[in-house]
Amino acid sequence: MHYGSGCSYPKPDIPKKMTEDLNNSNEKNPATKQDVKSYEKIAAANDTTMTKSKINPILLALNLITLVGIIILFILYFTGKGSKNNAISGAIEKANKGAISVAFVNNDSILSNYELVKKMRADLQAKGKRLEGEVAAKQQAFEKDAAYFQEQVKKKAISDQSAQEIYGQLQQNQQKIYELRDKYAAELQQSEMDMNVALIDSVMNFLKRYNDKYKFDYILGFTKGGNILYANDTLDVTKDVIKELNAAYLKKHGEN
């Protein structure tokens, strides 16, 4: 959501003639691999023991206990890994049952019809005109001074030393106008960003309250040419959302 202020400032310049007159790989499951190696070592130890002597019942029991422990670790590991996908599995199951509810709002319609947006846009445009007027006034005064100075130089009504001093002052005034123009442009940009943030917060907070009543799983923002290529019109809640947005805004701020 973005609005442009539409403000631009012309750049004042000291006439060139004036200057001429004066100057001339890691693997995926390392834990599993380590467990398998442990099992292989135990199995090798069992084979060595069986070949060198008679089967020891106590040693056999210990080996069985160790093997059971490894199996339990395998079960816990893969069960834990599977639990991470419970949310995804639940969503897929819900979708297969047709239980996921989705709605969408048209962002362009909100920008055009939400009273808060209209107020923000008007405020931003008014500020832009005010700042532009300040810069234009300073520019006109500068151009008037520059033209008078050029006339005095042509008439040789002032000394070279005075001309140099006046010329230096005009350059400083010109630089100040440039700096003021840049400052106001940055100020307008920041105001625009602040308004966008305020608008997004307003809509998001409203949709949370709105969804307390309707319990949608998703409320998507549709913009022409955006990421949503197609949306069923029966899922469009834009008119209802704008109606309730404006009702809440007018209740808080009044008709004016």
Calculate mean pLDDT across residues 181-205: 94
Q: What is the pLDDT of residues 133-191, one digit of tens each?
A: 999 999 999 999 999 999 999 988 999 999 999 999 999 999 999 999 999 999 999 99
Q: What is the pLDDT at residue 107?
A: 93
Residue 11: alpha-carbon gap to chain centroid: 33
> In this model, does residue 6 exceed pLDDT 70?
no
| 119-128: long-range contacts, CB 8 A cutoff, minimum separation 24 | 119/253, 120/3, 120/195, 120/198, 120/199, 121/3, 123/195, 124/3, 124/5, 124/188, 124/191, 124/192, 124/195, 125/5, 125/6, 127/5, 127/188, 127/191, 128/5, 128/6, 128/7, 128/188
Q: What is the pLDDT at residue 58?
A: 52
> In this model, does residue 44 exceed pLDDT 90?
no
Question: Smallest Cα–Cα separation from 217: which of 86, 84, 94?
Answer: 94
d(Cα 24, Cα 7) in Å, to the nearest integer? Answer: 37
Residue that wins the pLDDT comparison between 194 and 83: 194
> Do residues 177 and 135 touch, judged by C-beta distance below 8 A?
yes
Residue that wins the pLDDT comparison between 69 and 173: 173
One DSSP character per residue, 172-217 reads: HHHHHHHHHHHHHHHHHHHHHHHHHHHHHHHHHHHHHHHHHHH--S
> In this model, does residue 237 exceed pLDDT 60?
yes
Region of 185 on the Ramachandran plot (φ > 0 left; ψ -120 to 50 alpha; else beta): alpha
> In this model, does residue 26 exceed pLDDT 50?
no
Its pTM stands at: 0.57
DSSP-derived secondary structure letter, 233: G
> In this model, does residue 72 exceed pLDDT 60?
no
pLDDT band at 253 (very low <50, low <70, confident <90, very high): confident
pLDDT band at 52 (very low <50, low <70, confident <90, very high): very low
Each domain of the chain, given as residue ranges in start order, spans: 16-24+102-253, 30-95
> In this model, does residue 36 exceed pLDDT 80?
no
